[in-house]
Structure 1
Amino acid sequence: MKQPEACPCGSGLRYAACCRPLHAGEKSAASAEALMRSRYGAYVLKLGDYLLATWHATTRPSELDLDADSSKWLGLDVRSHRQLDESHATVEFVARYRIAGRGHRLHELSRFVREDGRWYYVDGDMLG
């Protein structure tokens, strides 16, 4: 797959300087927000292995079939990032996408945990 010039996470940075090093396993996310953004980018780029690797073991699905997913991701708006303590954080976001030409919004408050210096997505609550 051809790598995008602009990072799909919406940071305004080039992909090579933003989420690509995380996706390639060259470094880990510095914050829950950085992990959330990289996970959004992984959905856009259909990087299922990265999504599974950054999903906490207690809530991780056994598999993801992103090839069967016909969603076209359109943009990400991070509404808030709250560091609750050294190992727990939340990120509220809205992701826009289209399926079969119809627009949708995913508004979620996601929970993250840091273990052994790495952030993991745990789960989230759908909002609005």
Structure 2
Amino acid sequence: MQCPCNPNKTYIECCKKAHLDINSVTTVEQLMRSRYSAFVLANIPYLQKSHHSSTRPSKKEKREIESWTKSVNWLKLEVLNSTEDTVEFKAFFLENGAVNVIYENSKFVKENEHWVYLGAN
């Protein structure tokens, strides 16, 4: 299977390692890519684990995210820029017959000795 975050790599050689062991993630771009792949694969436990505890979605929000992520067809990810603690990206998806895009400049911090998503800048 091709990796959702990068069609030039297989899932096994790309995001699977992060999904199995978040401590293997060494850069914020790697974490952001693994989170995109987790959205595509509806890997909600990983999305929760990779989200900062202060901004982590509630159980109700978690169910809504899972339902939504399964209802759309993810198309592609474009990383526009990354720094030591931010990643600017566009994530394209098809919903109700229309192509939509999520544009975000994400902020990341370390928590429990691994990178986590804090929120959008």
TM-score (norm 1): 0.84
**Corresponding residue SS for 1:119:** strand
Structure-1 separation of matches of 2:22 and 2:86: 24
Which residue in 2 is equivalent to 1:74?
75
- For the Cα contact (< 8 Å) 2:44–2:66, is it kept in 1? no
Match of residue 35 from structure 1: 31
Mark the runs of 5 or more structure 2 residues left unpaired by the alignment. none
| TM-score (normalizing by structure 2) | 0.89
Does structure 1 residue 99 correspond to structure 2 residue 100?
no
Contact 1:8-1:41 at 8 Å conserved across structures: yes
Compute the displacement of 1:11 (Å).
Answer: 5.9
Superposed CA offset, 1:45-95 (max 9, x none)? 000000000000010011312442111110000001111xxxxx0100000
Moved more, 6-15 or 31-40: 6-15
How many residues in Structure 1 have an aligned counterpart in Structure 2? 116
| Percent of pairs with identical residues | 37
Report the aligned-residue RMSD. Answer: 1.5
More helix by share: 2
